């Protein structure tokens, strides 16, 4: 281990081989940090926090602080962080609540840019990018390979599906399905759906046929005027062999907050 002499490490904290801790950082009693993780200067890691291998945590990040919730009563709740995550300056990740599952989780290979906030009980997958000052309220779920733009605010209990993209400065109050794009519209700040995230899907190796099926399903689900239950049934019948479409339909059927609305039928020019 490479621990700067000004860092304060609780004697019961568990730090694996090759962990680096920079000047003036503070590591609490119940913290565990995996092999090769680098903790920069002036970082505070507290509470019941587990951090995996080969993570990079930059200056002034705060991980494992108590949840910002008036009902929290100092219960031993957790932050669980996987491997190969990049956590940049001033990122804040709060612990879970006992009434919300007890865990705030971050998977593997995620990139959290400066000033990102992840509130209590959020569940984040893998390969997520959150740009500067993107903010998650409590109990939010982000699927894998999602991209959240800078200055985005997402309301509590909202879900964002796999491979979705939310444009910068959007306010998201309802679920964003997988494989789509959402952004705040000119007619209001609330995010609306802007079609399939075709460019992002191509970058992740989706075939032309896969993307074509998703575009056709999107038209059916969001542009034809059907009710969700009716459109979901039609999509299942029309695309029985597309796991992507079935995942999209399942997401819609399981929504409890409702789905962000599409901007309408005439947005073909926005798709690529």
Active-site positions? 120-121, 138
CA distance readout (Å), 253 to 136, 177, 241, 249: 23, 11, 18, 6
Q: In what order do the strands lie in the sheet with 20-21?
A: 2-3, 20-21, 38-39, 56-57, 86-87, 111-112, 129-130, 147-148, 165-166, 180-184, 191-196
- Please give the Cα distance from 140 to 137 (Å, whole number): 7
Is the alpha carbon torsion for 73, 66, 122, 83 positive or negative? negative
Q: How many angstroms separate the CA atoms of 238 and 227, rounded?
A: 16
Question: Helix (H, G, I), strand (E, B), or coil: what is residue 222?
Answer: helix
Pair of tokens at residue 115: 């000033």
Helices and strands in the chain, H and E counts: 4, 28
Q: Which residues contact 208 (CB under 8 A, 6 or more apart)?
A: none
DSSP state of 157: T
CA dihedral 10, 14, 20, 26 (to 10 degrees): -30
* Rounded CA separation 188/201 (Å): 27
Can you tell me the distance from the alpha carbon of 27 to that of 247, in angstroms, rounded to the nearest whole number? 41
């Amino acid at each position: 281990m490479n621990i700067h002499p000004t860092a304060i490490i609780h004697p019961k904290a568990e730090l694996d081989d090759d962990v680096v801790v920079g000047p003036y950082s503070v590591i609490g009693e119940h913290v565990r940090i995996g092999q090769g993780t680098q903790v920069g200067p002036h970082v505070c890691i507290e509470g019941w926090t587990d951090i995996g291998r080969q993570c990079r945590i930059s200056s002034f990040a705060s991980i494992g602080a108590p949840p910002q919730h008036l009902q929290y009563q100092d219960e031993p709740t957790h932050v669980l962080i996987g491997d190969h995550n990049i956590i940049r300056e001033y990122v804040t990740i709060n612990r879970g609540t006992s009434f919300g599952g007890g865990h705030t989780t971050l998977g593997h290979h995620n990139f959290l840019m400066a000033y990102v906030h992840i509130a209590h009980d959020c569940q984040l997958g893998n390969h997520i990018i959150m740009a500067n000052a993107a903010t998650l309220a409590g109990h939010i779920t982000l699927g894998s390979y999602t991209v959240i733009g800078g200055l985005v605010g997402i309301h509590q209990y909202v879900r964002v599906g796999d491979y979705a993209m939310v444009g910068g400065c959007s306010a998201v109050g309802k679920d964003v399905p997988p494989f789509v794009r959402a952004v705040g519209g000119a007619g209001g700040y609330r995010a609306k759906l802007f079609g399939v995230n075709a460019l992002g899907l191509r970058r992740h190796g989706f075939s032309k046929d896969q993307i074509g099926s998703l575009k056709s399903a999107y038209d059916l689900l969001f542009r034809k005027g059907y009710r969700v239950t009716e459109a979901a049934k039609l999509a299942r019948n029309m695309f029985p062999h597309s796991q992507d479409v079935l995942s999209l339909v399942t997401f819609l059927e399981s929504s409890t907050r409702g789905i962000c609305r599409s901007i309408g039928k005439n947005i073909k020019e926005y798709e690529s």
